[in-house]
Amino acid sequence: MSIRRIALSVAAIVALPVAAQQQTYVFDPVHSQPGFEARHLGMSTQTGAFAKSSTKVVIDRAAQKGSIDATIDATSLRTFDATRLDAVAKGEKYFNVEKFPTITYKSDSVKFDGERVVRVEGELTMLGVTKPVALDVQNFTCGANPFNKKPMCGGQATATIKRSDFGMSAGLPYAPADEVRIIIPFEAYQTDS
């Protein structure tokens, strides 16, 4: 066997573990519903969530990099008052779901502390406006689901935005406040692709 062929074989073997480190995860929609909270009238904190979303995450722990592609169905918004507040929040003055039925978040900047994801820097597009938004990730943990034994990762991601940055200025400054906290609990199953 020639030296060149041996060198190529060794290079291929060395490259295999690195390629195997990249893993793809898909959020479980039942346990990964993006939510938000904001102060109302300067008194209470009101909450809402989106029942439908899809998120794909690719991480490479060895290379300390990753990407996220998330789409939220804005029409699935719930404020826990279906009789009145859902319609107001979905209306023209707020999420305007008829004109902007989706919210997206895309990132190619995933930060690690060891093997744990701790921060994601990406772009949030809402109401036709795209702005940089960084998500802080807490309690990032991976392992086998104790019930179905499938490999998964989970945790919680949070960020604080100003809704007026996205053109949502109705009711300011109190109903609700401009500052909105985003809360995304997530559980994601590893996939083959």
Indicate which CATH number applies to the domain containing 62.
Answer: 2.40.128.110
The tally of domains found in the chain comes to: 1
| Mean pLDDT within 42-65 | 96
Q: Return the residue matching tokens 């404020």.
A: 79
pLDDT at 9: 46
Confirm whether 7 is domain-assigned: no
**pLDDT tens digits for range 103-128:** 999 999 999 999 899 999 999 999 99
Is residue 16 scored above 50 in pLDDT?
A: no
User: What is the spatial distance between Cα 73 and Cα 158, in angstroms, rounded to a whole number?
Assistant: 19
Is residue 24 scored above 60 in pLDDT?
A: yes
**Structural domain of 169:** 22-191
Buried b (16+ CB within 10 A) or exposed e, 25-54: bbbbbeebbbebbbbeeeeeebebbbeebe
Confirm whether 118 is domain-assigned: yes
Torsion angle (degrees, nearest 10) of CA 110, 29, 151, 139: 50
Q: What is the largest CA-CA distance in the chain?
A: 78
Confirm whether 16 is domain-assigned: no
Confirm whether 157 is domain-assigned: yes
Say if CB 123 and CB 107 are below 8 A apart.
Answer: yes
Is residue 98 scored above 70 in pLDDT?
A: yes
User: What is the spatial distance between Cα 28 and Cα 77, in angstroms, rounded to a whole number?
Assistant: 18
Q: What is the mean pLDDT of the chain?
A: 91
Give the lowest-confidence range in 35-39, 83-87, 168-172, 178-182.
83-87
pLDDT at 20: 53
Is residue 31 scored above 70 in pLDDT?
A: yes
CA angle 87, 89, 95 (to 5 degrees): 120
| Mean pLDDT within 1-7 | 49
pTM: 0.86
Give the lowest-confidence range in 26-30, 36-40, 82-86, 132-136.
82-86
C-beta neighbour count of 140 within 10 angstroms: 18
- For the purposes of burial, counting CB atoms within 10 Å of the CB of 60, is it exposed (0-12), middle (13-18) or buried (19 or more)? middle
